[in-house]
Amino acid sequence: MFPAFLNLRSRRVVVVGGGPVAASKLDALLTAGADVTVIAPEVRPEVLERPVRVIQKHFEASDLDGAWWVVAAAPAEINKQVLAAADERRIFVNAVDDPAHATAYLGGVVRRHDVTVAISTNGRAPALAGLLREALDAWLPGELDEWLVAADEARRRWKAQGVPMEARRPQLLETLNRLYDGRAVSNPESRIPNPDLSSPEPRVPSPGRVALVGAGPGDPALWTVRAVRLLESADLVLYDALVNVDALRRTTRAQCFCVGKRARRDSVPQGTINRLMIRAARQGKRVVRLKGGDPFVFGRGGEEVLSLAMAGIACEVVPGVTTAVAAPALAGIPVTHRGIASGFLVLAGHTTASVDNALDSVRPNSLSIVMLMSIGARADLASRLIAHGWSAETPAAIVCAASTPDAWTWTGSLAQLGAAAPPEGLAGVLVVGEVVRLRDVICQSMSVNTPVQSGDEVSYGRNG
C-alpha cells in the first residue's frame, strides 16, 4: 500500500450508506473540512444531525460524479456497485470492513495537535490497527505541541543558516531535550534517548497509584462522584468495551486505552492488562482501570487487585452500579419482591458447568436468577433450568444495553427464551423468575419508551 495523507478541504466526498457505520465516518471527514454528501434510502438520526447533505434514495453510478473520495458503508452488494462506478471515474473507495470492494484502506489514526500517526494492516485486521493506535496514543508524550513549536523555530533557523538535512536531526534532539532541563517532567521517559548526547539521567519516578472504578451499566450519568474525580485527575485510563467513550473523553485528558473483552472477539489478555497497570504505576502515573458494572461482580477485579498487591502497587476500589441489579431495574423488573422472591442468584451464564453446580444448590422457582454474559447461551441455559426442575412457564426476560439509547427488552417464558432474537452485538442479561411478571405494572409509572418484545410480538413498553 502507498501511504498518503489527503487534503479534502472543500472537496466533494460521497458516503454511501446511512446506518451507524456511515455515521461513525462523518466526524473525521467533517474535521478535514470535506463537503460531504450522504446517499442512502434510510438514514439514521445521528446522520441527519450532522452538517452534511443527505439524499435519501438508492445509489446510482452518477452519484459519484465530481467526487474526490468515496466511503462505501452499505451492504456488500451495494459496495460492489459503488466500486464499479468509482473505478470508471478513477476515484478511490474506502469500503468499511469490506476490503474486497475497496481501493483505499483507512488506518488507526492518532492525532495530537498537528502530529498525525496512521497505522495500516492493508485492510486485513482493522481491529489490530485500532489496538496499535491506542497503544501509540498511550506512548506519545503530552508535550508534543511544545515539540512542534521548537521544531518549527529550529527549521526556520536551519534554513536561514543553510544547515544541511543530515545535520538537522541530531540538532533537533538536542533542542527537544533542552525543553526538559531544570523542570519536573510529568513523564520522565518522554526525554528522547540519544546515546550521542550527554544529558543528565531522568529522575526516578515516585510510585503511582491505581484505582479500579466501576462505570455502571452504560449511562455515564450513573458514574459515581468519586469515579468522575479520579478520571479528571488520571494520567492513564484502561477502559472496558462497554464504557461510553465519548463521555470518557469529555471527562478526562488522560491517555485512554481500550482493553475490554467482548464475546467471540479478540481481546487484550488479562495478563497484559495487569502488566500495563503495574508498569504505568511504577512510572509514577495515576491509573484508572474503568470497568463496566462493578469491579468485583464478574469483572475480574479481584484478580487485578491481587496482581497489583503482589507488585507492591497501591490500589483503590470504587464500587459501581452492578449490571446484575441495574439492568433489570431499568427494565422495570425488581430482582426481589416481598411475597414473590426474597433473594436472587447472580451467575455467569457463559460457564455452563458452574451454572449446573449453582442450580443443584437451590430449589426450583424459589428465587430470581440473573445471568450475565449469557445472551449467546440463552437456549442452552433455558434447557438446563428446565432440566433442573424449573417450570417451562417460568417468566423470563432479556435486557440489552440497559441505560443506553439502544436499550431493548424481551419478556416471555423460559420455554420461549431460546427463540428470542435480541439485536446483534448488544450485551445484556437474562432474568428468570416470577418477578418478571411485575414488569407490566411497574412500567406504567416509568417514563421512557423503549422497544420491548414479548414472545413473538414486538410492542412498546415504558422503560426507565
CA–CA distance, 296 with 274 (Å, rounded to integer): 16
Side chain identity at 395, as an amino acid letter?
P
Bridge partners of residue 236, in order along the sequence: 255, 287
Side chain identity at 70, as an amino acid letter?
V
Q: Which of 240, 380, 406, 440 is catalytic?
A: 240
Please give the C-alpha separations between residue 270 and each of 221, 274, 301, 390, 425, in angstroms, as whole numbers: 28, 6, 11, 36, 22
Residue whose C-alpha cell reads 428470542 in the numeric block:
420
SS3 track for 46-82:
HHHCCCCEEECCCCCHHHHCCCCEEEECCCHHHHHHH
Q: Which of 57, 80, 145, 261 is catalytic?
A: 261
* Residues 57 and 78: beta-carbon distance below 8 Å: no
Please indicate whether residue 152 is annotated as part of the active site.
Answer: no
CA–CA distance, 132 with 143 (Å, rounded to integer): 21
* Residues 57 and 17: beta-carbon distance below 8 Å: no
The packing angle between helices 301-310 and 270-282, to 10°, is 40
CA–CA distance, 100 with 124 (Å, rounded to integer): 10
* Residues 326 and 216: beta-carbon distance below 8 Å: yes
SS3 track for 217-235:
CCCHHHCCHHHHHHHHCCC
Bridge partners of residue 291, in order along the sequence: 214
Residue whose C-alpha cell reads 414488569 in the numeric block:
439
CA–CA distance, 178 with 184 (Å, rounded to integer): 13
Three-state DSSP at 151 gives: helix
Please indicate whether residue 114 is annotated as part of the active site.
Answer: no
Residue whose C-alpha cell reads 420455554 in the numeric block:
415
Beta carbons within 8 Å of 381's beta carbon, 6+ residues apart: 349, 352, 355, 371, 374, 417, 430
The packing angle between helices 378-387 and 352-360, to 10°, is 30
C-alpha cell at 374: 449469557
Phi, psi of 267 (to 5 degrees): -145, 170
C-alpha cell at 319: 464500587
DSSP β-ladder status, 408-413 and 395-400: antiparallel
CA–CA distance, 216 with 404 (Å, rounded to integer): 11
**Residues belonging to the active site:** 240, 261
